């Protein structure tokens, strides 16, 4: 459904690729969709196409293009390890600048969602970027690195109760520090939204998606402070 566009980072002017999917009917808003550690994979493009069918113009930036243009993990151990290394080598300031370029390429209202590494990046964008109406983050383990920052727009978070990589104590810390952020827990593990992952849980994925779409609908008339 979608295609590739080029964006120029607000961080350093670097030009990088992004997957772009347009709505098939009436436009409800723009959406920046942030990848897992695996890059802009077929799964990420499918998620973009799905949100486009719901009326959103979606951009999924290729955040690793400085390291390896077009990187998309094939879920082999070697490829996954490379994704981990690339995520660790991608600074948060750079992520915010790349995401801002995607936000600026979309007309208001603009929302953000992200998965795994992208769940933490969605939190970052909600805290630092301009022009975000609402944000939804999925199982963002590294939010703990950013817990001192506060979202500037309505934000919800999705976590799995049995996610071994994100102890519930870490979730409770976010809840205690940010009582205005709605946090939802599911009877699932890490990566429950991805049908490519061992912990995929269809019921949890559907419910989290419904809550995400409801968040976007409630905040379609809100633009964050500049």
Write out pLDDT tens, residues 173-209: 999 999 999 999 999 999 999 999 888 999 999 999 9
Can you give the pLDDT at residue 225? Answer: 45
Can you give the pLDDT at residue 226? Answer: 36
Can you give the pLDDT at residue 222? Answer: 53
Q: Is position 195 within any domain?
A: yes
- pLDDT, one tens digit per residue, over 35-79 is 999 999 999 999 999 999 999 999 999 999 999 999 999 888 999
Can you give the pLDDT at residue 197? Answer: 84
Can you give the pLDDT at residue 61? Answer: 98
Query: For residue 101, how far is the Cα from the chain centroid?
Result: 15
Q: Is position 226 within any domain?
A: no
**95 C-beta neighbours (distance < 10 Å), count:** 25
Q: How many independent structural domains does the chain possess? A: 1
Structure tokens at 129: 């970027």
Q: Report the distance separating Cα 224 and Cα 118, nearest Å.
A: 20
Please report, for the domain that includes residue 173, its CATH number: 3.40.50.1820
Q: Is position 33 within any domain?
A: yes
pLDDT at 83 over 60: yes
Q: Are 147 and 120 in contact (CB under 8 A)?
A: no
Comparing CA positions, the residue from 217, 218, 223 lying closest to residue 54 is 217
% the chain with pLDDT above 70: 98
Comparing CA positions, the residue from 128, 162, 154, 144 lying closest to residue 215 is 154
Q: Is position 225 within any domain?
A: no
pLDDT category, 102, cuts 50, 70, 90? very high
pLDDT at 214 over 60: yes
pLDDT at 87 over 90: yes
Can you give the pLDDT at residue 64? Answer: 98
Q: Report the distance separating Cα 224 and Cα 131, nearest Å.
A: 5
User: Omega into 109 within 30° of 0, i.e. cis?
Assistant: yes
Q: Is position 96 within any domain?
A: yes
Can you give the pLDDT at residue 224? Answer: 47
Residue-number span of the structural domain to which 72 is assigned: 3-218
Query: What SS3 string covers 170-223?
Result: HHHHHHHHCCCCEEEEECCCCCCCCCCCCCCCHHHHHHHHHHHHHHHHHCCCCC
Can you give the pLDDT at residue 16? Answer: 98
Q: Is position 162 within any domain?
A: yes
Q: Is position 97 within any domain?
A: yes
Q: Are 71 and 42 in contact (CB under 8 A)?
A: no
Can you give the pLDDT at residue 75? Answer: 85
User: Dihedral of the CA atoms 213, 180, 186, 39 (nearest 10)?
Assistant: 60
Can you give the pLDDT at residue 1? Answer: 73
Can you give the pLDDT at residue 221? Answer: 82
Q: Is position 101 within any domain?
A: yes
């Amino acid at each position: 459904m979608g295609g590739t566009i080029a964006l120029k980072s607000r961080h350093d002017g670097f030009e990088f690729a992004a997957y772009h999917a347009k709505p098939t009917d009436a436009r409800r808003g723009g959406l920046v969709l942030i990848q897992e550690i695996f890059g802009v994979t077929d799964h990420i493009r499918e998620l973009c196409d799905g949100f486009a069918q719901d009326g959103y113009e979606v951009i999924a930036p290729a955040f690793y293009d400085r390291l390896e243009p077009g990187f998309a993990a094939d879920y082999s151990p070697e490829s996954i390890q490379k994704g981990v290394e690339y995520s660790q080598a991608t600074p948060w300031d750079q992520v915010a600048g790349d995401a801002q370029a995607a936000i600026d390429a979309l007309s208001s209202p603009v929302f953000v969602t992200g998965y795994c590494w992208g769940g933490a990046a969605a939190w970052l964008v909600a805290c630092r970027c301009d022009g975000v109406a609402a944000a939804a983050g999925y199982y963002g383990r590294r939010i703990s690195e950013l817990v001192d920052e506060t979202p500037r727009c309505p934000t919800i978070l999705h976590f799995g109760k049995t996610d071994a990589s994100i102890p519930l104590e870490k979730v409770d810390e976010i809840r205690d520090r940010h009582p205005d952020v709605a946090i939802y827990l599911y009877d699932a593990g890490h990566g429950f939204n991805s049908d490519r992952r061992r912990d995929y849980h269809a019921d949890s994925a559907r419910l989290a998606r419904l809550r995400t779409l409801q968040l976007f609908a409630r905040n379609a008339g809100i633009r964050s402070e500049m």
